[in-house]
Amino acid sequence: MSLKLSPSLLNTIPSEISLDRQLLEEAHSQPAVNSLRINPGKYTDQFDEQQRVPWCPNGRYLAERPSFTFDPLFHAGTYYVQEASSMFLE
């Protein structure tokens, strides 16, 4: 899923912060990256084949976004949906 930024939002971004509007729009037009962190106390091999987050041994990038609400492992706390950049402090 990509995000289309509204022109009114783009027009409110001040030019003083050296933000390249074209690069911002391009970045938000790309499909969203999905990642999760496996709870080491409730390990599952369900995500072993997924690409690892380089700085987090329990982090995985997902090829596509599953329907987490229907996954019993999600509700059991086996993994947490988390942006990979938030895993940096592990």
Give the tens place of pLDDT for each residue, 12-34: 776 656 777 778 778 778 888 89
- The per-residue pLDDT for range 39-89, each reduced to its tens digit, is 999 988 999 999 999 999 999 999 988 889 999 999 999 999 999 999 988
Q: What is the DSSP letter of 14?
A: -
Question: pTM for the complete prediction?
Answer: 0.69
Domains, the chain, in order of start with CATH, read 1-31 (no CATH), 33-90 (3.30.70.1170)
Identify which of 20, 5, 26, 48 has the alpha carbon closest to the alpha carbon of residue 79. Answer: 48
Residue 35: how many CB atoms within 10 A of its CB?
Answer: 20
pLDDT at 80: 94
CA distances from 7 to 16, 24, 26, 44 (A): 18, 12, 14, 44
| DSSP designation for 40 | G
